[in-house]
Amino acid sequence: MANADHGTRALVVPTGILRVAVAVGSAISAVWTRRDAATGEPRGPTVDLARHIAGRLGVPLTLVECASSGEIIETASSGAWDVAFAPVDPERKKLVDFGPNYFLGESTYMVPAGSPITSIEEVDRNGARVLGVENTATIRSARKSLKNTSAVGLQGLDEALERFTNGEVDALALGKESLRSLLPRFPGARMLDGHFHAAGTAVAVPKGHVEALEVFSGMIEDLKRDGTVGKVFEAHGMDPATVAPVGSRS
């Protein structure tokens, strides 16, 4: 798809500009982007992948900024974006159509410096203050796994991190790649071993955009196959071993 024809471009980019929804926060991961200090523009793996796709289609790119992957899914029917990247779960399949995974990841908790909590199991105790980002696959899985406390979802990652900074959180639920990028900001904080959620992150289109999904899916598989996705991950400090195999779907 290095030189997409006019018909293909008209099919997948109806406005003539590729509109890619991205989650903007304070972490870098297969989903989250972070604002560049110099330009103020989002930067992260999804931005790089969006540029590769726009380049192969031969069209301009615009980023549709969202506060979380949950907001990306919620706006799928609004016509605001053409393609996005999000963790896969059954609830989201009701609202968007997913293509192949490009990332396989896990979610766990970050606990603050000095916390007596040493395992995921110890998070599940009466009175534990567990926070995450609302309408994400991670927060839904955390809620399913917790029996003795509950997980509170906030609208954006920045609000969750502010509360973590202020000592209002016992455990922050997030993907491991995001947590790795955040740990340097919180000396003494720890990421707990193991996981309570494991799933793929995949290319997504609004429900019913079957032909567009086929085109975007083919591009993502090509970008995995030729090593581009792995190089993008490495460029942002991620482990290229987390690139999903060709054909992987959740």
* pLDDT 10s digits, 114-143: 999 999 999 999 999 999 999 898 999 999
In this structure, the answer to whether residues 206 and 94 fall within a common structural domain is yes
How many Cα neighbours within 13 Å face the side chain of 205? 18
Q: Quick one: average pLDDT of 172-184?
A: 95
* Model pLDDT for residues 181-202, shown as the tens digit of each residue: 999 999 999 999 999 988 899 9
Q: What is the pTM of this model?
A: 0.80
In this structure, the answer to whether residues 110 and 175 fall within a common structural domain is yes
Domain count, the chain: 2
| 143 within 8 A of 151, measured Cβ to Cβ | yes
Percentage above 90 pLDDT, the chain: 90
> Which tokens sit at 56?
């192969």
Task: Give strand pairing partners of 24.
Answer: 33
Distances from the Cα of 26 to the Cαs of 50, 64, 151, 218, 235, in angstroms?
19, 17, 20, 30, 17
What 3-state class would DSSP assign to 3?
coil
In this structure, the answer to whether residues 216 and 189 fall within a common structural domain is no
Residue 81 lies in a domain: yes
Nearest alpha-carbon partner for 33 in 79, 76, 69: 69
CB burial class (10 A; 0-12, 13-18, 19+) of residue 234?
Answer: middle
* Model pLDDT for residues 46-96, shown as the tens digit of each residue: 999 999 999 999 999 999 999 999 999 999 999 999 999 999 999 999 999
In this structure, the answer to whether residues 185 and 208 fall within a common structural domain is no
| 54 within 8 A of 60, measured Cβ to Cβ | yes
In this structure, the answer to whether residues 211 and 100 fall within a common structural domain is yes
